[in-house]
Chains A and B, each alone.
Chain A
Amino acid sequence: MINQNIITCCLVVFFLTSSHISTAVELKAHGIVDIRASSTNSLDEGYLVGGQGKFGSNDGQQLSIAQAGVELSAQWENGFSAHGVLNAYLAGLENDEDRAAGITEAYIKYKGLPNASGYRIQIKGGIFYPEISLENNAYAWASKNTLNSSTLNTWLGEEIRVLGSEFKVTRLGRMNNDAFDLSLSATAFINNDPAGALIAWHGWTMSSRQTLWGEAREFPWFPALADGAPLAKQADKSEPFLEIDDNAGYHVRAEWSLHGKGELSAGYYDNKAIPYQEIDGQYGWRTRFYHLGARWRISKSLSLTAQYLSGSTLMQSPLKEDMVNNDYSSGFVSLTYQWQGFFGSEKSGNKKHKSTLRLEDFSVTDNDNTWGDNNNEDGQALTLNHSYRLSKHWFLSAEFNYIDSHRPARYYTYKPADLVEKQLQLAARYFF
């Protein structure tokens, strides 16, 4: 929390002073307010409050501010810019389900101009998301076409965030008579050592909630946490953004994009955490995964987005015995159809109606023999979204999510291993 206050102070001071340093600076504030009504058919408690439900909200009806996010930036002529992203959530007024506000990203970026051969360098330093999600590219990491992100990206929003520096080289095809651009990026980072705990202990989930920097997250109870059991030392909440062992991790990514058509990307993340180190009940989890992404415009009105992520996580006792050793994967394919031109624009992203269908498959495979901690999971999900652009800034959305999952760990809290959960949401989203 102190950490977060310092960052907030720095950001405020930075924005107040930056406008005086140079007249060439441009200050911008963009964001989203997402007001949502949801009806959830799930377990009593959703995963955000430490339950076994896969949605962010508990069983029943709920009115919430599903996201109030703002992206502040200061951008200079010379290619330097500073960015701060703040997010706030307000749900479940009656029983204090989820109320939080804080920083999700804060970084400084330098984006050079391309040279005559079309090569451009970009350097970024601070707190940020490794570039993986193809859904959460609207302001403040909001999902563009759906209300709930896919299980893959919900996990990234929950556990994957780094304090690091990213170096990126882009080769622009325009200067080389090629119809495609290529980019390669490499990030060295710290402060993401406990990542993996939540995917192990509540599995894949689906919401639009991002973990704030410094925030601790709950997970369901399981017998291995009991006194004298193998995981008794584990704190009752996990803090994904800690540095436990002073080992730097890395993320590399390559992207090929064909002008006006789409892009293909692949990357690899490894937090290089020492899996048997622990500080105040927070363990290092050696988490590594590869990810693949594709975004393709099939026609002017139909576009496809697909992502796949697969990897492993390992957490050990001080005696280097495996306590949690999991493999996991999640993938989705989504199709978005847009129609009826709006504001005289025939460009696809700004049509009046937008319908999205998303299909997902996810799993966690438990490879260890720890008593009272079965992390196995297998499931599928379906999302249907229709969004209507009411005016330039307002979007009305209706979304239906369906998750069918098998998770034996639910027995620990007397819940069924096989479960079908459904959610219907109505949202008014204001982008500015």
Chain B
Amino acid sequence: MNNKVITLFFLLLSVLITPESSSAASCNSESMNNTCVQIFVNGKTGQALANMVVYLEPLDGQILTRSSKEVVVAQLGKSFTPYLSVSQVNSKVSFVNQDDITHHIYSVDSNNKFSFRIRAGQTNASETFGHVADVAMGCNIHDWMSGYLLIVNTPYFGKTDTQGQVSFNIAQQGKYNVVIWHPQLKNDNNRLSKTASIIANSTFTFTLKNEITTPTTQENEDDFDFLSDY
């Protein structure tokens, strides 16, 4: 009986402290000189929104170290995985076909037009993205496939977790433009932004004015494995 009570107590305690500690942990993992910024994104009715892209654009001419993140846009189960990818300008973006069929990936965005066939198991890292852009991608064989690649000019980018939260370690304090992006966000340029002076332990909460339209699932109504692609 006692054991159960103790277990329950620790469980409760862990539930209570988890959100705080996880965000703190992600911030503390970097150098102690860094400033931790936490951003929360909520829906119209206050619910936490996951998988919202958040990025910080420096406005005071801060010199920032380039992001070392290599972005992988996978094609898995005839869908873009993940649906949303973010990369810094001129970073390496790899397209990896993890399906056992060929895909034909393309973008018709005027500044980032590309198109290539990618066979089963192949990787294509030949595309470069030298401009800030929202790149909408499709597959010319499987029309229901839809994915986005956001190219930003900052190393500070990420996506909110299930608590609607994302945090960054900022090397230089100062003025930043905090931007929320999602292709289904009903705002100008699918963005919400706020200019802010970031000091130690800044926290920002964004609440959407309009509900976000749920993205169409990347699923065909007929997904038999041996369909002839007429």
A-to-B contact residues, CB < 8 Å: 24, 26, 28, 30, 32, 71, 75, 77, 79, 111, 113-116, 120, 131, 137-141, 144, 170, 172, 174-175, 179, 181, 257, 259-263, 295-297, 303, 345, 347-350, 392, 431-432
- Are A113 and B108 within 8 A (Cβ)? yes
How does the 8 Å CB contact mask read for B187-220 relative to A, with 1 for contact and 0 for none?
0000000000000000000000000000011011
26 example contacts (A-B, Cβ-Cβ < 8 A) are as follows: A24-B117, A75-B102, A77-B116, A77-B117, A111-B140, A114-B106, A115-B108, A116-B108, A116-B109, A131-B230, A138-B224, A138-B227, A138-B228, A144-B224, A172-B138, A175-B108, A181-B143, A259-B144, A260-B216, A260-B217, A303-B222, A349-B223, A350-B223, A350-B224, A350-B225, A392-B225
A260 to B216, CA, bound (A): 8
Instruction: Answer whether residue B136 sits at the interface, using C-beta atoms and an 8 A cutoff.
Output: yes
A17 to B102, CA, bound (A): 22
Q: Please provide the chain B residues from 148 to 178 with a CB less than 8 Å away from any CB of chain A in the complex.
A: none
Top 3 closest pairs, chain A to chain B, by CB: A349-B224, A349-B223, A431-B226
- Are A179 and B108 within 8 A (Cβ)? no
Instruction: Answer whether residue B23 sits at the interface, using C-beta atoms and an 8 A cutoff.
Output: no
Given contacts A30-B228, A75-B102, A431-B225, 8 further A-B contacts (CB under 8 A): A26-B117, A114-B106, A137-B230, A138-B227, A175-B136, A257-B221, A259-B216, A350-B225
Residues of A contacting B219 in the complex (Cβ-Cβ under 8 angstroms): 260, 347
CB distance from B166 to the nearest CB of A (A): 26
A79 to B117, CA, bound (A): 10
- Are B117 and A116 within 8 A (Cβ)? no
Residues of A contacting B108 in the complex (Cβ-Cβ under 8 angstroms): 113-116, 175
Residues of B contacting A170 in the complex (Cβ-Cβ under 8 angstroms): 143
Name the residue on A nearest B100 (C-beta): A392
B interface residue count range (under 10 / 10 to 19 / 20 to 34 / 35 or more): 20 to 34
A271 to B136, CA, bound (A): 42
- Are B140 and A113 within 8 A (Cβ)? yes
Residues of A contacting B34 in the complex (Cβ-Cβ under 8 angstroms): none
Instruction: Answer whether residue B110 sits at the interface, using C-beta atoms and an 8 A cutoff.
Output: yes
| Residue among B115, B117, B138, B222 with the highest chain A CB neighbour number at 10 A | B222
Name the residue on B nearest A343 (C-beta): B225
CB distance from A219 to the nearest CB of B (A): 29
Q: Please provide the chain B residues from 108 to 142 with a CB less than 8 Å away from any CB of chain A in the complex.
A: 108-110, 115-117, 119, 136, 138, 140
A172 to B226, CA, bound (A): 24
CB distance from A256 to the nearest CB of B (A): 13
A175 to B108, CA, bound (A): 9
| Residue among B117, B138, B219, B221 with the highest chain A CB neighbour number at 10 A | B221
- Are B228 and A140 within 8 A (Cβ)? yes
Instruction: Answer whether residue B75 sits at the interface, using C-beta atoms and an 8 A cutoff.
Output: no
Contact A263/B221 with A138-B226, A141-B228, A174-B136 known, Cβ cut-off 8 Å: yes
CB distance from B136 to the nearest CB of A (A): 7
Instruction: Answer whether residue B81 sits at the interface, using C-beta atoms and an 8 A cutoff.
Output: no
Q: Which of B140, B216, B228 contacts A179 (CB 8 A)?
A: B216
- Are B136 and A137 within 8 A (Cβ)? no
Instruction: Answer whether residue B146 sits at the interface, using C-beta atoms and an 8 A cutoff.
Output: yes
Instruction: Answer whether residue B77 sits at the interface, using C-beta atoms and an 8 A cutoff.
Output: yes
Residues of A contacting B221 in the complex (Cβ-Cβ under 8 angstroms): 257, 260-263, 295-297, 303
Name the residue on A nearest B114 (C-beta): A113
A257 to B225, CA, bound (A): 20
Residues of B contacting A120 in the complex (Cβ-Cβ under 8 angstroms): 140
Residues of A contacting B216 in the complex (Cβ-Cβ under 8 angstroms): 174, 179, 259-260
Contact A174/B117 with A138-B227, A260-B144 known, Cβ cut-off 8 Å: no
Name the residue on A nearest B220 (C-beta): A260
- Are B228 and A172 within 8 A (Cβ)? no
- Are A32 and B110 within 8 A (Cβ)? no
Name the residue on B nearest A172 (C-beta): B143
How does the 8 Å CB contact mask read for B93-108 relative to A, with 1 for contact and 0 for none?
0000000001000101
- Are B228 and A137 within 8 A (Cβ)? yes
Q: Please provide the chain B residues from 56 to 86 with a CB less than 8 Å away from any CB of chain A in the complex.
A: 77
- Are A347 and B77 within 8 A (Cβ)? yes
CB distance from B7 to the nearest CB of A (A): 33
A140 to B119, CA, bound (A): 22
A138 to B117, CA, bound (A): 22
Contact A295/B138 with A113-B108, A116-B108 known, Cβ cut-off 8 Å: no
Residues of A contacting B116 in the complex (Cβ-Cβ under 8 angstroms): 77
CB distance from A190 to the nearest CB of B (A): 21
- Are A295 and B119 within 8 A (Cβ)? no
A175 to B146, CA, bound (A): 10
A257 to B143, CA, bound (A): 11
